Every structure is written in C-alpha cells, then in structure tokens.
Amino acid sequence: MKRFLIPFTVALAFAFSFLSSCKEPVTPDTPEEPETPTDTTTTPQDTTTVPDTTEYVQVIPDTDIKAYFSSSLGDDDELFKEDEPINTGNVAEVRERVWRLWTEANNELAEEKLIGPDNLDSPAAHSWDLPAELEPDAVMPYYFGTKGSEPAEGYPLFVYMHGSGDKNGEWDMGLQLCQGFDDAPSAYFIPQIPNEGDYYRWWQKAKQYAWEKLLRLAFISEDIDPNRIYFFGISEGGYGSQRLASFYADYLAGAGPMAGGEPLKNAPAENCANTAFSLRTGEIDTGFYRNTLTGYTKDAFDALEAAHPGYYVHHIRLEAGMAHQIDYSQTTPWLKQYERNPYPKYVAWENYEMDGLYRDGFHNIAVLERSNSDYTSRTFYEMEIEGNNINMDVNTLTYTTIETSPMYDIEMRFNRAYTPAHSGKFILYLCPELINLDEEITLTVNGKTVFQGMAEQNTKHIINSCATFFDPERLYTAAIEVDLSSL
C-alpha cells in the first residue's frame, strides 16, 4: 500500500503517488545461512561464475512498462506481472532500458520539478507545495546549488535541516553555513520548514513526502551521485536528521546530526548498518537531555560495531566544554569520505512508524503485509548473505521504558523483547551483485528453509523494484516471496 499519494494532473483529474511504497514480485521455495560483514562504505564484489550470455529477447513493449510506471506514480500499487526472462549476461542492458523508461515517465509527470542546481554562492529560491492532506498550507521553499566542478559520477548531495528559531533567519543562516563548509565539489538542498509551531518537525509526514520526492528526482538527475547522499542538520535539524537517518538509511551514504540527541526508540541505531553516522553535541548541552541521549546513542553504536565489525561506522562525540553551539564545520568533510554500498550482505531493519507512516521497503526487503497490527509493536528484519546462502530472522519487537527524564517526561532508555513473527508477508529482492544467481541459492527464515533452487531472473522484478525504491542502484533481477504464516 502506498504511503502518500503525490498530486499530479492527467487531463483534468487529480491522481496521487506514494513514493516509498513497496511493489513486489513472487517466487517461494527454500533457503539458508548468514554472512560476515564487509566495510559498509564500499561496493560489493562481482560473482565469479561465468554468466549466461544468451542474447536478450525483448518481450514486453516499452509502452507497457511506461504505462505501468505512470500508473505507479499515481495511486496504483499493484505489481507488474508480465514475464520476460533474462540472464546475468544481459542484466545491464535490461536495467538501462527500464531506468530510461522510468526517467521518461517521471519527466512527463505534471508536478513541480527539482529546479537547478544553481551556483550555491547566489542560488535562486524555489519552492514545492506539499499535499494539504498531510499538512495545511505547507509550502517548502528551498535552495538547490553546487560548489566546485562536477565530478564524473555527479555531485555528492548534502541535505541540510535548520534549527527551530524564526524560520526566515534560520534559513538564511543555513545557506551561509553551507556555503562555507569545506566539502567542494558538492551539491546542497537547503529547505525552509514550511510551517512553525506544531509543524516545526523535519520528520513529519508532509516532510517525508518532500524527502521522497527529492530522492526520486535527484536519482533521475544526471547531476547527483546516487551513492553519495547525506542528511544533516543542527538542533531541531539535528533531531530531524537523526530520525531520518534511521528511517531512510538505505538511501544514504551518511548522516550527521549536530546539537541534537534523540531517544533510540525514535531513531533505532540498528537501521544504520551500512550508513556512516556522525553525531556531535556539546558536553554541557543539557537542554532536553541532549548530551545524555547522545551518550546513549554512542553506547548503542559502539555495541553494534563490536557485534558487526565494519557495518556501523560512526563518529559520535560530546564536544568538551561546549553547550548548544558547537563547531559545525567538521561534519560534512567527515561524511564526504563515505559512499553508500547499495548491495550490503548484512541488513538490519526495525520497521517503525514515523508520524503514523511506515516505510514499505528497506534495502532489498519489500513488505507486502506487516507483521505488527498496531503501533505497540514493530517488526525487526535481519538478513545475512554468505556465499549463496541467505539467513533471515524476522521478529516482532516490543519496547518497555526503563528510564524517564525528571523534566518533560521524555522516555530515555528501553528494554526490547523479540519474538519470532508468525504473520506478515515480504519479498526479498536479489541481484548478481548480492548473490550468484547462476547457481542454486538457499533462503532460511526463522530457522526454516523456505527456498532452495535457482531464482529466475526476470524483467518484471527490475520493473517492480524500480517502482518501489526509485533507485538506479536497486534494480533487482530476482525475487522470493515469503509468507511468515506458513512457516
């Protein structure tokens, strides 16, 4: 089911599009085993088996694919079902075709586009109208500009979120800060919060709509490197970028909240496997317990990195003697060292709601039916790939608060309980970068073999994963559907 409906015109009608939704393919059977981590910042190794190079035979007309994409950008979240078998030898050709058609469908969509980029020294102000059903009277002004000469792969993109003062002053100051950071060549998207008061939160649903639109349009742009996107912010923007780092970790190379500090229930650290994470807060920044919560976040990342070496790259520090204002110049140069690995062999995902909305997919997992029935519990997916064996654990997760702050009643620390999930459906997407699809694979879920054999590569899986993730690096060629109630 789509999370939002994105307004656009077709003739005289209004349709809507939900960007983060999951569309998925099918194929059950059997599996097994986990994997050992590799550096989250590098791209995975190619398979060693000689691929089948049978010539690609185009069966599905371009018009069918493009019509499906146009529909998926509206309110249709059905899966594309037409078959067109492919093999490892022609994956690149089919991906190029599908991405071209996706780009054309997006370019023809009647919506406010991403304008620019300008020179960041003197960028023009642009804006997006956000859906009124998500937030009333929400117009998001933004600057989109670049520094330095464009690299061959495109610019790294930094998305900056300002603090919670007067929004005009905060936006102006944010532009000045971003102009001065030593991270060129780079591109910047610098939005202004649409509304103040109760809507002054970067993680609320209207802003989720904006982030997903930004990612979708940045990916079809030739200006941006899809593996070098970073979210960061200061104060309220620190809270926002920490939450969004966990929620959208699969899209990000890194995230860098500053002068923030969120309870981990709002931003589970587990989701940031494969995402470089920086959090810097003043040592004496006691407001809303920011320093204490930053310390708890450091403890969580330290423990995760010890358990999964190489996956939880982080730089979390309490700045000695500093309160709410710190040196902001260190974050983007640190983040820029890291690139996204779009094909990690280890994935951890706590699927939680943010302002009432869920992600319907994460990395190569796409949810058809959630295992939890309400907000009192969550679903936690963990996947490891070792050779041609895939091991997954899918658990229902519940939180118990064990520490509440004396002021404000902030839930600070928690115990978590995990039990195997017995309901829900999901699709596990695969591709040659993740596993050798020219040999048999085994998928084990919660200790039971659910698939064992050859996973068919098919154009429909590329189409469906493209519509689900809108990501040029996640055009998966095979898919296995798992029904947890049948295990």
**For range 156-177, the mean pLDDT:** 98
Report the alpha-carbon distance of residue 368 to residue 324 in Å, rounded.
43
Would you state the pLDDT for residue 91?
Answer: 98
Peptide bond into 44 cis (omega under 30): no
**For range 297-312, the mean pLDDT:** 99
Helices (H), 148-262: 167-180, 205-220, 236-247
Burial 286-310 (b: 16+ CB within 10 A, else e): eebbbbbbbbbbbebbeebbeebeb
What letter does residue 271 receive in the DSSP assignment? G
pLDDT in tens, 311-342: 999 999 999 999 999 999 999 999 999 999 99
Would you state the pLDDT for residue 53?
Answer: 59
Phi then psi for residue 302, to 5 deg, are: -60, -45
Report the alpha-carbon distance of residue 36 to residue 400 in Å, rounded.
31
Report the alpha-carbon distance of residue 112 to residue 98 in Å, rounded.
23
CA angle 363, 258, 172 (to 5 degrees): 105
Would you state the pLDDT for residue 172?
Answer: 98
pLDDT in tens, 251-292: 999 999 999 999 999 999 999 999 999 999 999 999 999 999
CA-based nearest residue to 255, from 323, 150, 334, 153: 334
What is the helix (H) or strand (E) element at residue 464, kind and residue range?
A: helix 459-469
Pair type for strands 13-15 and 8-10: antiparallel
Would you state the pLDDT for residue 461?
Answer: 99
**For range 144-166, the mean pLDDT:** 98
pTM of the model: 0.90
| Residue tagged 């109630």 (tokens) | 485
What is the helix (H) or strand (E) element at residue 94, kind and residue range?
A: helix 91-107
Would you state the pLDDT for residue 54?
Answer: 74
Using only C-alpha atoms, the chain has a radius of gyration, in whole angstroms, of 22
Would you state the pLDDT for residue 358?
Answer: 98
Name the 3-class secondary structure at 385.
strand
| Domain architecture of the chain: domains with CATH | 8-110+344-486 (no CATH), 118-335 (3.40.50.1820)
- In the chain, pLDDT over 70 holds for what percent of residues? 89
DSSP annotation string for 405-427? -TTTT-EEEEEEEEEE--S-EEE
Would you state the pLDDT for residue 3?
Answer: 60
Cβ contact 463:80 at 8 Å: yes
Phi then psi for residue 454, to 5 deg, are: -90, 130
DSSP annotation string for 272-292? GTTSEEEEEEETT--GGGHHH
Cβ contact 460:81 at 8 Å: yes
DSSP annotation string for 324-361? S---GGGHHHHHTT----SS-SEEEEEE--BTTB--SE
| Residue tagged 């039916």 (tokens) | 369
What are the distances in angstroms from CA 290 to CA 140, 406, 412, 415? Answer: 27, 14, 10, 20
Burial class (CB in 10 A: 0-12, 13-18, 19+), 43: middle
Q: Pull the structure tokens for residue 217.
A: 């349009």
- In the chain, pLDDT over 90 holds for what percent of residues? 87
Which of 43-57, 143-157, 277-291, 451-465 is predicted least confidently?
A: 43-57
Phi then psi for residue 148, to 5 deg, are: 80, 180
Residue type, 91: V
Q: Pull the structure tokens for residue 480.
A: 């296995």
Burial 138-150 (b: 16+ CB within 10 A, else e): bebbbbbbbbeee
Average pLDDT across the chain, whole number? 92
Would you state the pLDDT for residue 257?
Answer: 99
